[in-house]
């Protein structure tokens, strides 16, 4: 982050938290969105890869366990 932005905010009378929330967070928003997308894709891969590789329920990750609860206790809607 440019030091000039922090200095300009200090001259305007902003404190530490106001500089953080009104200057630095809006500047870093694209980086935070990218980080969120990468984290989501990483979590999704922790679901898809173990689903294809493992057949033993003892080796499943937490995501697979939750998905198995959803399918195990669902109703059969055959018409």
The average confidence (pLDDT) of the chain is 85
- For residue 79, being part of any structural domain is answered with no
Looking at per-residue confidence, does 28 or 70 come out higher? 28
Domain assignment present for residue 21? The answer is: yes
Closest CA to 51 of 34, 68, 71, 29: 68
DSSP 8-state secondary structure symbol assigned to residue 54: -
Whole-model pTM? 0.55
Q: How many domains does the chain have?
A: 1
Q: Is residue 78 part of a domain?
A: no
- The whole domain housing 48 covers 3-72
Higher pLDDT, 60 or 6: 6
77 belongs to a structural domain: no
On the CB side of 8, how many CA atoms lie within 13 Å of its CA? 8
């Amino acid at each position: 982050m440019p030091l000039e932005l922090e200095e300009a905010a200090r001259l305007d009378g902003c404190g530490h938290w106001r500089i953080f929330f009104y200057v630095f967070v809006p500047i870093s928003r694209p980086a935070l969105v990218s980080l969120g997308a990468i984290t989501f894709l990483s979590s999704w891969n922790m679901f898809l890869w173990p689903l294809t590789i493992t057949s033993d329920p003892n080796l499943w990750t937490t995501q697979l366990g939750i998905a198995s609860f959803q399918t195990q206790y669902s109703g059969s809607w055959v018409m």
